Amino acid sequence: MRPFQELVVWQKAHQLALAVYHASGGFPTDERFGLTSQVRRSAVSIPANIAEGSARPGETEFRRFLGIALGSATELEYHLILSKDLGYISHETHERLDTSLAEVKRMLVSFIRRLQVGP
C-alpha cells in the first residue's frame, strides 16, 4: 500500500478535520468538554482511521478501517447539524462543511466497494 498521505480521500478528510477545528474554535467555553470535543474527535477519526487502515496487512483490514472512518463521518454529520441548530456555527459554515463531508463519505463508500471487488 502506498503512503496514506497520497490517498486523495485522506487529503480531503484531513482538510475537513482542519476546517472543523477552525469552525469549532468559536463554540462556547462550557462546550469545551462536550460538543467541541465530540465534533473534533469525530472529524479527526476519519483521516486517522484511513491512515491506520492503510498500514494494515491486506485489503480486508483496510476495508474495516475505512468502514470505521465512514461511521465517524456519519457521526460528524450529526454533530454539525446539532452545532448549526444550537447556533454555534452559521448556516453557511454548516453548508460548506457538510458539502466537504458528503464528498469524503462518497469517496469512502467508493473506496470500500473498490476494495471488495478488487482492481
Delineate the domains of the chain, giving CATH numbers in brackets. Answer: 4-117 (1.20.1440.60)
Summary mean pLDDT of the chain: 95
pLDDT score of 58: 86
Average pLDDT, stretch 14-33?
Answer: 96
What proportion of the chain, given as a percentage, has pLDDT over 90? 90
Average pLDDT, stretch 92-108?
Answer: 98
**Is residue 88 over pLDDT 80?**
yes
Using alpha carbons only, give the angle 39, 91, 110 rounded to the nearest 5 degrees: 60
- The C-alpha cell at 90 is 452559521
**Is residue 105 over pLDDT 60?**
yes
Cα–Cα distance, 107 to 103 (Å, whole number): 6
Other C-beta atoms closer than 10 Å to the C-beta of 3 total: 10
pLDDT score of 119: 56
